[in-house]
Structure 1
Amino acid sequence: MTVNTPDGLRAILDDPAGAVIGLDFDGTLSPIVPDPDSARIHPDGPAVLARLGELVGAVAIVTGRPAATAVEYGSLARVPGLVVLGHYGLERWEAGRLTAPPVHPGLARVRAELPPLISRFDGTRFEDKERSVAVHTRQTADPQAVLEALREPVAKLAAEAGLTVEPGKFVLELRPPGVDKGVALSAFLEERSARSVLFAGDDLGDLPAFAAVRASGLPGVTVFSGSAEIAVEADIVVDGPSGVMKLLGSIADAIGR
């Protein structure tokens, strides 16, 4: 684990009741796997998060996945006070209740036109998340080359359907405009009158949340758990979900003392 600045962590430890712990799911709480449907939280995750939930102001999962899926794959239903902001904040799961706006009408078009568009590349995978769709290239012979080949036609289709494209690690996600993890996290910090914040993520889609931490004006810390390409944006760098678990566990230990 690499630590560049302890200021945000110190604020969380000094005043845990005012702290919001925000976490991505895939690559942060769950290891990245070839089939997204087989992703599950790190074995230590439910216990560590349940412990944190008793100690800090709020624990929030901010994910591109459907909120209910994150709850299921993370075995999170019993984490005290947990809030899951799914689909980049379009959905909210709290205390067993799910709230969400209507599905964007442009998704019907991309559901029909995107699978034929990507079918010429063997190994591409189409994922329907109900409020967004994604194209995965991880299982192709050359994931990066296929991603680049699809970038322009996918962007064109998304624009025609009134959607935006969120790039990630061997994935292009098409979703409604005006939502991202930064918007979701900022609104949650304001709602909870947060006095400090930590956010952990691993991919390009987490950068808006990192920016939201910096823009909040609160004592904050960002944690990166993925590849080195955007690690420079984080205050703390850990080794994948196991490193996240160790960090969160150490925070819980320190608060408990």
Structure 2
Amino acid sequence: MTDLEAAVQALAGVPRLLVALDFDGVLAPIVPVPSEARPLPESAAAMEELAALPGTTVALLSGRGRADLAAVSGFGSPVRLIGSHGSEFDADGSSLLDDEQRERLDRLAAELRQLVDGEPGVTLEAKPAGVAVHVRNAPPDVGTRVLDAVRAGPATWHGIEATPGKAVLDLSVARMDKGAALELLREGEAADAVLFAGDDVTDETVFARLRPGDVGVKVGPGDTAAQHRVDAPPDITALLQQLVEARRRRSES
């Protein structure tokens, strides 16, 4: 039995378990067109099975806007959907911003549209509390030039929070990160332990907050504070299936 398998077996026995995962690169393979991302079917089935077990809360914690996350993941209640790096805990984000933040967001969106106009392969993703600049499909020199301009320009504005990711820079007018969001989830669900899996640099804010008895899993390469690592989304499928079986046995015993 590997260290990760042993850790999952231990997690299965806690009274209240929180399973929180990033979406892209974890439940769903990374694809060139973000709107076409879908969870691996076996992972989706395991998530739904976990969510139906007693004392088990399942959540997606993503940089995507919550509505976008719901559309691409296909999940609804009882799976909790936390979007915009934790800024969206409600369904539509309508109460997320005050008037000053809304004005700042309008200015930010206008500036970014002008900045990326005509740049091949660069796309903007509007979110309730910000805008993400995606360069995954841009030529490398274009992506570097655009992100450098964003970092030197709108990312420096007062009240703007910049969060770098894989081929994306997320700009927000509301301060939140995934680590803080996980703590809110843990407290709200009174979880005894947490399983979190992520692949991006933004997920390190979660790994850094995990406690003894929690399990953190990094998907793919890169420096990480997670205790465990797997190669790709199919490995997360296997992990979730293992957890389903172990937790079901514990609940039935």
TM-score range, shorter chain: 0.7 to 0.9
SS at 1:44's partner residue? helix
2:213 is the alignment partner of 1:219: yes
SS at 1:154's partner residue? helix
Give distance in 2, aligned partners of 1:192 and 1:218: 18
Give distance in 2, aligned partners of 1:100 and 1:240: 35
Give distance in 1, aligned partners of 2:16 and 2:64: 27
Give distance in 1, aligned partners of 2:158 and 2:35: 26
Length-normalised TM-score, structure 2: 0.86
RMSD over aligned Cα, in angstroms?
A: 2.3
Displacement, 1:11? 3.3
Which of 248, 251, 255 matches 2:247? 255
- Which residue is equivalent to 1:235? 227
Gaps of 5+ in 2: none
- With 187-196 and 98-107 compared, the bigger mean Cα shift is at 98-107
- Which residue is equivalent to 1:132? 130
- Which residue is equivalent to 2:18? 20
SS at 2:125's partner residue? strand
2:146 is the alignment partner of 1:153: no
Could you tell me whether the CA contact under 8 Å between 2:87 and 2:96 is conserved in 1?
Answer: no
SS at 1:224's partner residue? strand
Displacement, 1:6? 5.8
SS at 1:28's partner residue? coil
Give distance in 1, aligned partners of 2:183 and 2:65: 19
Displacement, 1:91? 1.4
Could you tell me whether the CA contact under 8 Å between 2:87 and 2:174 is conserved in 1?
Answer: no
Displacement, 1:58? 0.7
Displacement, 1:130? 3.0
Length-normalised TM-score, structure 1: 0.85
Runs of 4+ residues deviating >4 angstroms: 2-8, 97-100
SS at 1:84's partner residue? strand
Displacement, 1:177? 4.3
- Which residue is equivalent to 1:166? 163
Displacement, 1:169? 0.8
SS at 1:33's partner residue? coil
- Which residue is equivalent to 1:114? 112
Give distance in 1, aligned partners of 2:19 and 2:128: 27
Could you tell me whether the CA contact under 8 Å between 2:120 and 2:142 is conserved in 1?
Answer: no
Number of corresponding residues: 243
SS at 2:245's partner residue? helix
SS at 2:12's partner residue? helix
Give distance in 1, aligned partners of 2:5 and 2:209: 18
